[in-house]
């Protein structure tokens, strides 16, 4: 009797883990194909993709060297890093400053401004992209870093995120600083900023993911390799015949690896951040 | 009404803080006006003109011509149909599958957090990257057809991305795979927020697993389910990266979307006026969905 029960328990456990593993394969396999493909000769990637050889290269080729040499991939990585880094750093300051003032500094029109910010959350960037393209071409900043950075610094969503985070902090902190005679700006830098690290992490993670992976806007406003981001470079190489699958997979790994590593290290912060947003569909 | 002595109000708090507050909000206000408010108003205005990206012709008011032209363009109806199909199927499938995954990773098993991480990993991946990888998987001699062949004996071997009837389903399958971890993580949090006493009480009353799921788990997840569904529906109208990389909108416009069409018209064909009209239609659709979600979302939960 006791034997039968423990054996049944082991079976039930095996079934549970079996199911978990099968589902895990669905998510891992495409990523594995990418990693293995990045070190295979171009032709093998497609030819071997319908058998188990897809996971075991029969020949090794360094597509990374190839991608960096022929499509100036290193340059594209630098471009993406400059643009995403600028948006993250500038956005953190601009949005948290506004959120702080809306939450804790009394000034005329604060209610109105808060209402406007909340209303603007619903306007997707895509709805304003076409007029922005026209403006950019009129003032001749198409094909620059600037046009890839400026539109994404101020974000109603992140302002609201910081605003609600500040509201959750004890009021006394800010009142004490006012009595101290510390200026509003100094209170922001010395008291507010150090207290909102979780909100800064959230906005930094979300905006980095959005800009690093962004394709829609750079497709329209970048032309030359000097400013073009990795996503546009990848889609161009992927759209060129004959398809260099090995190079494509090497580029894919180079684009994803940094994000995957940071994700694995800071997993709780990552998951919390994405859960607090809509992100992509 | 806040009560404040005149001295406090005017001298201590008001004066110095007003200018300080201005310094703090000014950058955000300037950027929001320049890159959101003005372009948004401009989109409405431009949609009533013949504006082109570069043009020798003078700017002219054309009334609703652009809107009429869009409505007469079969590409627009193709795109709208695809967006609506996507907005119905993908969020629904993602939510149902996400609930299944959430239940799976909510088990008390050793190493369960590893599975949680694996199921969530595609969510942080760059869309352009997963799109090229899935292009390889969907190739006629690729892994997906090999899998189908192994199961069916090899009769059904379509060329997914070159077949007008299968290309958009392929885009949707990939999109479900990529983002199913998002509803999973929210629903997992929802599951863990349901008080354990409810389950215990139900078990004491002799309820079976199915009854517990229907009468305790599902009602407990109601708010999260509605939130996940509506937010994915709203963002699904922005669909661009997957079809742009996987199919370029083809074959024969089979995978085009409103955003692909807008970029095609406004950027490639340089017709800013007409693309602005598409942008405005897109905005109205998104706004309508958001309003519906806000109106009916909370009400449905209040009934329960």
pLDDT tens-place string over residues B72-106:
999 999 999 999 999 999 999 999 999 999 999 99
Q: Write out the residue range of the structural domain in which residue B207 sits.
A: 73-303
Q: What is B61-103 written as a DSSP string?
A: B-TTHHHHHHHT-HHHHHHHHHHHHHHHHHHHHHHHHHHHHHH
* Measured distance between the N- and C-terminal CA atoms of chain A, rounded to whole angstroms: 52
> Nearest-CA neighbor of B143 among A51, A3, A62?
A51
The number of distinct structural domains making up chain B is 1
DSSP letter (8 states) at residue A53: G
Per-residue pLDDT tens over the stretch A15-31 = 999 999 999 999 999 99
Mean pLDDT for B99-126 is 94
From chain B, the residues in CB contact with A212 under 8 A are 126
Q: Do A215 and B175 touch (CB under 8 A)?
A: no
Residues of B in contact with A29 (CB under 8 A): 143
Determine which of B89, B116, B117, B126 to mutate to test the interface with A (most A C-beta atoms within 10 Å).
Answer: B126
What are the backbone dihedrals phi and psi of residue A75, each rounded to the nearest 5 degrees, phi first? Answer: -60, -45
- Which range is most confident: A101-110, B53-62, B270-279? B270-279
* Residue B269 lies inside a defined structural domain of this protein: yes
What is the pLDDT at residue A181?
Answer: 58
DSSP, collapsed to helix, strand or coil, labels residue B61 as: strand
Q: pLDDT > 70: what percent of chain A?
A: 94
Question: Is A134 within 8 Å of B51 (Cβ atoms)?
Answer: yes
B231: CATH: 1.10.3720.10
Q: Pick the closest to residue A91 from A175, A163, A150 (CA basis).
A: A150
Query: pLDDT tens, B197-219?
Result: 999 899 898 888 899 999 999 99
Residue B16 has pLDDT above 60, yes or no: no
Q: Using one digit for the tens of pLDDT, what is the confidence trace for A34-75?
A: 999 998 888 788 878 887 877 887 788 888 888 888 778 999
Task: Please indicate, yes or no, if residue B156 is contained in any of the structural domains.
Answer: yes
Which secondary-structure segment (H or E) carries B114?
helix B112-124
Among chain B residues, CA nearest to A153: B31
Residue B17's pLDDT is what?
Answer: 65
Is B130 part of any domain? Answer: yes
Is residue B19 domain-resident? no
Its ipTM equals: 0.91
Q: DSSP code of B49?
A: B
pLDDT at A47: 79
Nearest CA in chain A to B41: A128
- Return the closest-CA partner of residue B232 out of B293, B276, B170: B293
What is the reported pLDDT for B3?
43
**pLDDT score of A4 more than 80:** no
Contact call for B231 and A278, based on CB within 8 A: yes
Helix-, strand-, coil-residue percentages of chain A, each rounded to 5: 75, 0, 25
Share of chain B above pLDDT 90, in %: 67
| Band of residue A279 on the pLDDT scale cut at 50, 70, 90 | very low
B172 within some domain: yes
Helix (H) or strand (E) run with residue B172 in it? helix B167-179
Q: Which of B124, B171, B234, B283 to mutate to test the interface with A (most CBs of A within 10 A)?
A: B124
Does residue B1 lie within any of the structural domains? no
- Indicate if the pLDDT at residue A220 is higher than 90: yes
Is the residue at B276 inside a domain? yes
Q: Tell me whether residues B234 and A212 touch, CB distance under 8 A.
A: no
Domains of chain A plus CATH, in order, are: 2-64 (no CATH), 71-240 (1.10.3720.10)
Backbone torsions φ then ψ of B61, nearest 5 degrees: -75, 125
B31 within domain boundaries: no
**Distance in Å, alpha carbon of A149 to nearest chain B alpha carbon:** 11
Confidence tier at B186 by pLDDT (50, 70, 90): very high
């Amino acid at each position: 009797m006791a034997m039968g029960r423990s054996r049944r328990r082991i079976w039930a456990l095996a079934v549970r883990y079996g199911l978990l593993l099968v589902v895990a394969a669905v998510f891992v396999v495409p990523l594995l194909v990418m990693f293995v493909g990045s070190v295979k000769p171009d032709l093998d990637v497609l030819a071997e993709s319908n058998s188990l050889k897809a996971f075991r290269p029969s020949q090794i080729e360094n597509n990374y060297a190839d991608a960096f040499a022929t499509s100036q991939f290193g340059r594209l990585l630098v471009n993406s890093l400059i643009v995403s880094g600028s948006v993250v750093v500038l956005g953190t300051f601009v949005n948290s400053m506004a959120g702080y003032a809306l939450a804790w500094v009394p000034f005329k029109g604060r209610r109105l401004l808060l209402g406007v910010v909340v209303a603007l959350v619903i306007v997707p960037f895509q709805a304003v992209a076409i007029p922005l393209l026209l403006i950019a071409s009129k003032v001749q900043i198409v094909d620059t870093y600037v046009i890839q950075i400026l539109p994404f610094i101020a974000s109603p969503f992140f302002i609201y995120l910081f605003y609600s985070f500040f509201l959750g902090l004890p009021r006394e902190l800010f009142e004490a600083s006012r009595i101290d005679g510390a200026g509003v700006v100094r209170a922001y830098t010395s008291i507010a900023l150090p207290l909102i690290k979780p909100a800064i992490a959230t906005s930094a993670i979300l905006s980095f993911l959005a800009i690093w992976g962004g394709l829609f806007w750079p497709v329209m406003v970048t032309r030359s390799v000097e400013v073009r981001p990795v996503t546009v470079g990848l889609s161009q190489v992927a759209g060129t015949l004959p398809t260099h699958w090995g190079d494509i997979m090497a580029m894919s790994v180079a684009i994803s690896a940094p994000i995957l590593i940071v994700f694995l290290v800071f997993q709780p912060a990552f998951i919390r951040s994405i859960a607090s947003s809509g992100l992509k569909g | 009404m806040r009560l404040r002595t005149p001295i406090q109000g005017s001298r201590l708090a008001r004066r110095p803080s007003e200018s300080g507050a201005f310094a703090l909000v000014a950058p955000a206000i300037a950027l929001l006006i320049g890159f959101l408010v003005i372009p948004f108003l401009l989109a409405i205005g431009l949609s009533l003109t013949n504006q082109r990206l570069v043009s020798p012709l003078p700017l002219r008011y054309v009334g609703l011509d652009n809107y009429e032209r869009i409505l007469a363009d079969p590409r627009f109806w193709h795109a709208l149909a695809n967006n609506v199909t996507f907005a119905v199927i993908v969020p629904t499938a993602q939510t149902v599958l996400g609930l299944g995954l959430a239940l799976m990773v909510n088990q008390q098993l050793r190493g369960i957090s590893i599975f949680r991480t694996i199921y969530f990993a595609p969510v942080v991946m760059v869309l352009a990257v997963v799109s090229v990888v899935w292009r390889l998987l969907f190739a006629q001699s690729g892994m997906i057809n090999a899998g189908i062949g192994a199961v069916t004996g090899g009769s059904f071997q379509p060329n997914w991305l070159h077949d007008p009837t299968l290309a958009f389903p392929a885009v949707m399958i990939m999109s479900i795979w990529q983002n199913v971890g998002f509803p999973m993580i929210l629903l997992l949090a929802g599951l863990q927020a349901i008080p354990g006493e409810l389950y215990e009480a139900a078990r004491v009353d002799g309820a079976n697993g199915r009854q517990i799921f229907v009468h305790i788990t599902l009602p407990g997840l109601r708010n999260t389910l509605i939130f996940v569904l509506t937010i994915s529906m709203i963002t699904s109208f922005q669909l661009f990266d997957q079809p742009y990389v996987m199919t370029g909108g083809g074959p024969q416009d089979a995978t085009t979307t409103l955003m692909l069409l807008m970029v095609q018209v406004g950027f490639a064909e340089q017709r800013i006026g007409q693309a602005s009209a598409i942008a405005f239609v897109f905005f109205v659709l998104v706004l309508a969905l958001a309003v519906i979600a806000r109106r009916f979302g909370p009400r449905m939960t209040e009934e329960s």
